[in-house]
Copies of this chain bind each other. A is one copy, B any other.
Amino acid sequence: MEQTYRLIISCPDRVGIVASVGQFVSSHGGWIVEANHYADSESGWFFMRHCIKANSLPLSLEQFKKEFESIAEEFQMDWAITDSDTPKQVVLLASKESHCLVDLLYRWHSGEMKYDIPCVISNHDDLRSLVEWHGIPFFHVPVDKNNKAEHFHRVSQLIAEHRADTIVLARYMQILPGDVCEEYEGRIINIHHSFLPSFAGAKPYHQAAQRGVKLIGATCHYVTQELDAGPIIDQDVMRISHKDSVEDMVRLGKDVEKMVLSRGVRLHLEDRVLRHGNKTIVF
């Protein structure tokens, strides 16, 4: 993939945004290879993502940022520009269940998804050999009801030490403390094993079996302080029938969970997810 700069903008909607940004980019010779716009008529907010060929611009990222500042101010933009060649630093948190972790490791190892994994942290030691085969540091940080504060302190420390910019909860099964949620707002991705808002909380497949639903699902969302209530990035479902026991749902659901999580992470890695209140714009 050719190197691009990704210019991500949210601002109040008004006439002239597209023209000003387009004018700015083209005045520097910038070649736009992908562009997405969305005007939310309800809130009066405008969202934009441009991919610009890096080698078409005579500017460094730093220069671009400096020169773009006046447009950003004029339109009161919340904005960022990222470099497709700078991989995100993604710390993976897991528990005992391996399917989501293995899937993310595989997509990294095969080069299908481009990101760095500075380390994997788990409250169980079961997945150590697998992670270490990939050449990735593995930290076992046990947790029980008496050492929660200590556990999360150590986890936070490891995340900070490894300079993570993104945290993925690959079926981590622990509720992160509020201060971590706040510090990494919009950068912690969770997979919940139900079609939210149905069956939030514990044992969603048991809840689904109880209700007799005909589809099970999974939801990938940003973590906020309210459990299973953060902005949804992606969801999907799978058909089941009366023949499927809770155990069957758990097994079948794994395929939906890992598919939805990897899609959500990929969208985040490519800066395609813009948050707006409790919703997402996904370009």
Contact = CB atoms under 8 A, between A and B. Distances in A.
A16 interface: yes
Interface residues of A, number: 64
Question: Of residues A19, A21, A34, A217, which shows the largest number of chain B Cβ atoms within 10 Å of its Cβ?
Answer: A19
A70 B18 CA distance: 20
B18 A26 contact: yes
Contacts of A237: 195, 215, 237
A235 B239 CA distance: 9
A32 B243 CA distance: 15
Given A34-B37, A215-B195, A112 B243 contact: no
A186 interface: no
B254 A235 contact: no
Contacts of A233: 214
A232 B212 contact: yes
Contacts of A281: 242
Interface in A142-176: none
A31 B18 contact: no
A275 to B, nearest CB: 10
A76 interface: no
Given A232-B211, A251-B112, A15 B29 contact: yes
B33 A41 contact: yes
Given A23-B22, A41-B33, A214 B198 contact: no
B35 A35 contact: yes
A53 B271 CA distance: 29
A276 to B, nearest CB: 8
Interface string A39-64: 11110000000000000100000000
B19 A280 contact: no
A164 to B, nearest CB: 25
Nearest to A199: B197
Nearest to A259: B255
A112 B21 CA distance: 36
B98 A110 contact: yes
Contact of A133 (B16, B133, B278): B133
A20 B32 CA distance: 13
A258 to B, nearest CB: 10
A236 B213 CA distance: 10
A133 B279 CA distance: 42
Given A18-B35, A19-B22, 19 more contacts: A15-B26, A15-B29, A19-B25, A19-B27, A20-B22, A22-B22, A23-B23, A32-B37, A33-B41, A35-B35, A38-B242, A42-B245, A99-B106, A99-B110, A195-B215, A196-B198, A196-B211, A215-B217, A242-B280
Shortest beta-carbon contacts, A-B, top 3: A212-B279, A19-B22, A19-B26
